[in-house]
Amino acid sequence: MDFLIFQVPMLTLQAVLDGLLLGVLFALIAYGMALQWGVMNIINIAQGDLVILGGYIAYFMYLYGIHPAWGVIISPIIMYFVGVIIYKLVINKVVDRDLFISILATFGISILFMQLMNFAFGADVVLANSGYGTTMLFDNSVTLPNSKIFSAFISIVFAIGLVIYMKKSKLGRAIRATAQNARAAKILGVDTEKVYAATFGINAALCGVAGALISITFTIHPYMGLPYTIRSFMIVIVAGLGNLPGVAMSGMGLGVFEEFADYILGTEFRIGSVFLLLVLILVYRRFKLSRKREYLK
Partner 1 sequence: MNKNIILYGAILIFGIAAPFIFPAFKVQLSILCILIILAITWNVQGGEMGYNTFGNILFYGLGMYLCASVQVGMFFPLGEWTEGGGEKTFVHTPAQFFQGFAVGLAVAAVVPAIIAGLIGYSILGLRGHYFAICTLGLGVAAGEISGGIEIIGAGQGFTTPPFPNVDRLEARGEFFYFCSFIVLVFTFLAVKAIYSTRFKLVLNAIRDNEDKAEAMGIQTMKYKIIGWMISAFFCGLAGGIMGGLVGYIDSTDVAFDGREMGVFMVLMAILGGKGTLWGPVIGATLFHIFKEGFWTFFLGWQYVALGVLIVVIVIYFPEGIMGWLREKYPERFGEVVDEADRKAQVTLK
List residues binding partner 1 (CB under 8 A).
Answer: 43, 90, 93-94, 97, 99-101, 103-105, 107-116, 118-119, 226, 230, 233, 237, 266, 268-269, 271-273, 275-276, 278-279, 282-283, 286-287, 290, 295-297
Least separation in angstroms between residue 269's CB and partner 1 is 5
> Residue 38: which residues within 8 A CB-CB, separation 6 or more?
179, 241, 242
Please identify, using beta-carbon distances, which residue of 94 and 175 lies nearer to partner 1.
94
Least separation in angstroms between residue 159's CB and partner 1 is 24
Q: Please tell me the distance from the alpha carbon of residue 101 to that of residue 40, in angstroms, as a whole number.
A: 13
Least separation in angstroms between residue 105's CB and partner 1 is 5
Phi, psi torsion values for 139, nearest 5 degrees: 60, 40
Please identify, using beta-carbon distances, which residue of 61 and 95 lies nearer to partner 1.
95
- Looking at residue 169, what DSSP letter applies? S
Phi, psi torsion values for 144, nearest 5 degrees: -125, 115
Please identify, using beta-carbon distances, which residue of 113 and 150 lies nearer to partner 1.
113
Least separation in angstroms between residue 264's CB and partner 1 is 13
Please identify, using beta-carbon distances, which residue of 161 and 272 lies nearer to partner 1.
272
Least separation in angstroms between residue 111's CB and partner 1 is 4
Instruction: Please give the single-letter amino acid code of residue 41.
Output: N
Contact 30/251 with Cβ under 8 angstroms?
Answer: yes
Please identify, using beta-carbon distances, which residue of 173 and 270 lies nearer to partner 1.
270
Instruction: Please give the single-letter amino acid code of residue 263.
Output: Y
Least separation in angstroms between residue 70's CB and partner 1 is 30
Please identify, using beta-carbon distances, which residue of 47 and 199 lies nearer to partner 1.
47
Task: Output the CA–CA distances (angstroms, integers) from residue 237 to 4, 25, 138, 194, 211, in the order listed.
Answer: 33, 17, 37, 27, 22
Half-sphere exposure of residue 45, counting CA atoms within 13 Å on the CB side? 18
